[in-house]
Structure 1
């Protein structure tokens, strides 16, 4: 087998024919913007990189992770930017490692044109390499420059916060929130420079809405260590978050929700911090807000975390959360639906929770509808809820459930590929539902057409 090797020919003098037949000249292409260049000049000058410093092309490509790259830089085989472009006798250019793999598979053709090769050599396309290197270098240095500017600005704003008051403080917080929301380097700068302590100190019983909303908007985007979280769980700070959850804008409510959930991640988080009637009422208002549906998922996510603390479940039931959540079920997407069903299932562990589920007229029809509709986990929660209330009042609830098409749905679960535990629970519930009917009548209730209708 002939081995493909770099040609000893040296016919490249600063230009090369591109894939589209146009002449690609380094200066013309970059200065003219043909390849998205940004003008000439020394690469790296003035942006923290010394003249003549060589950067690794692979590193630049990986760190930039650009979605739009000139097509002439892309290897037709891998569809990735080329780092070592070589040209075949057909004029087509490929990444060296990719075309060698092609040849090693026994192909003696050009992958793009499928022409048979009359010359078995590959030639380094130095001009294209320089074009690629120049283009990525310019993008890379601009990115680094912006990153340095962002870090510097974050540090400046942090220093301003330590000294300013009133409107100047609010303005600094506003700008800092925008910077940390958009740039990971700014978030790291704020954390490394003690910014979490500075911003947390602004939260207290006399904090204005303007300061509090911006400060919470910053903190929710930062990485908080255990000490920072402990500081933020002080009663006065939690109280402020609860007040803003009830009275703030939708964005502020969502930020308060996300921050409280982040604080709950600590192992020693105490349930009394969320055993607040005001907190739970504000949370349910956010979840039910039909005008601003972007608050539903974060709201349900926090309520889900709160439900893990069994001591708080009774309080959640007492504020009427169960009928409100049941009412929302048909309109929820799959992610929100699983969270809502988990919460309802957790609340059904309480006697008062089961009673609230039973007394809500939409519980049974909504749960029956969800069986085998969304996911196995959703079916599991819905089935568990139905079991809880049917066991509570077998005659009344079982009849309502069967009339809603439960029997046919249970047969579908039993015949499906669900887990054995889920099938077993379905069989038990089916048996419970059949007690109020003769065999003939119950079989008629199991017809699939009823479920479809």
Structure 2
């Protein structure tokens, strides 16, 4: 068994791993900062609009990269010398590693560390784990019982995230976590408060997956301190963590209690300012999604009215955003100007050339409910223009807006 374990857990030289994917690099390339990445990973990073080196966070004067041929040769030689185990020996060893978790063995930290090392080695290893019988249940069990040791919690979160990203058995994992309930969410909160940036991002991704289920979303909202910790990352987290949180907030906000809790955590103010300041289209679109969802409750609309930067930031994004995000922007403006009927916000939108912005938006070929919101907006903004002496004359519009049921 010792030889089998040695073959399965060959230590990968850290120099051979991509700092982004942590997999052995297939095509290593170096940035001007001197850091080497796998070509596919760094290309995705740069294509997402980032202009920094992921490892050093230095702003890149140039986004060009050059092949690291020496390292490529070394990796090829290392791969040729490796002696991969047979499928049978891999399965036997995985069973032996999972057994301590399943039986409640005390050495949980050591067991998870070995499994995490195996998973980190390659995408193929992660696929094996995701499809291995009993692995998902073992990891959820480990996560539920490790809310006081950060190393154990981080490895459990990493492995759970790895399974979900490899399309394991998502419904089963969701059910297992709901059965364990508070213990799992307490462990996730522990990582959010004490873990590394990487572990926090993985935790948010797991929460985002869970939040797509109503019961899971309800449990997340009921975990004291969880949403407030996530909201804090909108102000103090890095770009990748912040974007992961925005994606999560746009999913978890399906219940009224979640929306009210987010308002109480100051999310409207944080997201409005972020929308106003961000240069990333992806970040802006996720901000608009969060605001559109929160705008469907009275507390959310009141918070937006009280936040001076909100309506102004949304108006600026209507014509610049992709179609789905532009619909979210129209939804927010309609909620504030028509549903809330706040005169100050309505006048502010009108003064920012709101009528022209909405007219341009209407040319995108909306479905009827979005077009109805646009027409409603033009009517109220036309009145605001007249009241403020802006002298804008528009034709007559008629509509019936019955698409949204406010709460």
- What interval of TM-score do these two structures reach, taking the shorter chain for normalisation? 0.5 to 0.7
Cα distance in 2 for partners of 1:307, 1:179 equals 36
The offset of 1:328, in angstroms, is 0.7
- Counterpart of 1:212 in structure 2 is 153
Report the CA distance shift for 1:395/1:269 in structure 2 as closer, same or farther (over 3 A): closer
Report the CA distance shift for 1:151/1:289 in structure 2 as closer, same or farther (over 3 A): farther
Report the CA distance shift for 1:347/1:436 in structure 2 as closer, same or farther (over 3 A): same
2:141 to 180, 197, 201: 201
Cα distance in 1 for partners of 2:333, 2:146 equals 45
- Counterpart of 1:298 in structure 2 is 244
Does structure 1 residue 180 correspond to structure 2 residue 119? yes
- Runs (5+) with no aligned partner, structure 2: 1-6, 8-25, 29-75, 395-407
Cα distance in 1 for partners of 2:186, 2:385 equals 55
The offset of 1:334, in angstroms, is 2.8
Cα distance in 2 for partners of 1:163, 1:376 equals 52
Cα distance in 1 for partners of 2:173, 2:367 equals 43
Q: Deviation digits for residues 41-89 of structure 1, max 9, x if unmatched? A: xxxxxx9xxxxxxxxxxxxxxxxxx999xxxxxxxxxxxxxxxxxxxxx
Report the CA distance shift for 1:198/1:442 in structure 2 as closer, same or farther (over 3 A): same
Cα distance in 2 for partners of 1:364, 1:373 equals 15
- Counterpart of 1:432 in structure 2 is 380
Cα distance in 1 for partners of 2:387, 2:217 equals 53
Report the CA distance shift for 1:147/1:304 in structure 2 as closer, same or farther (over 3 A): farther
Cα distance in 1 for partners of 2:305, 2:388 equals 28
Max radius of gyration: which structure? 1
Does structure 1 residue 349 correspond to structure 2 residue 288? no
Is the CA contact (8 Å cut-off) linking 2:147 and 2:153 kept in structure 1?
Answer: no
TM-score (norm 2): 0.65
- Within 5 Å, give how 1:127-146 maps onto structure 2: 146=84
Is the CA contact (8 Å cut-off) linking 1:289 and 1:295 kept in structure 2?
Answer: no
Report the CA distance shift for 1:219/1:416 in structure 2 as closer, same or farther (over 3 A): closer
Is the CA contact (8 Å cut-off) linking 1:213 and 1:252 kept in structure 2?
Answer: yes
Report the CA distance shift for 1:297/1:340 in structure 2 as closer, same or farther (over 3 A): same
Aligned-CA RMSD value: 3.6
TM-score (norm 1): 0.59
Cα distance in 2 for partners of 1:356, 1:331 equals 21
Q: Deviation digits for residues 234-272 of structure 1, max 9, x if unmatched? A: 211211212222222211111211222333345653613
- Counterpart of 2:208 in structure 1 is 261
- Runs (5+) with no aligned partner, structure 1: 1-46, 48-65, 69-137, 447-453
Report the CA distance shift for 1:434/1:394 in structure 2 as closer, same or farther (over 3 A): farther
**Number of equivalenced pairs:** 310
Q: Higher helix share goes to which structure? A: 2
Cα distance in 2 for partners of 1:440, 1:217 equals 56
Does structure 1 residue 385 correspond to structure 2 residue 324? no
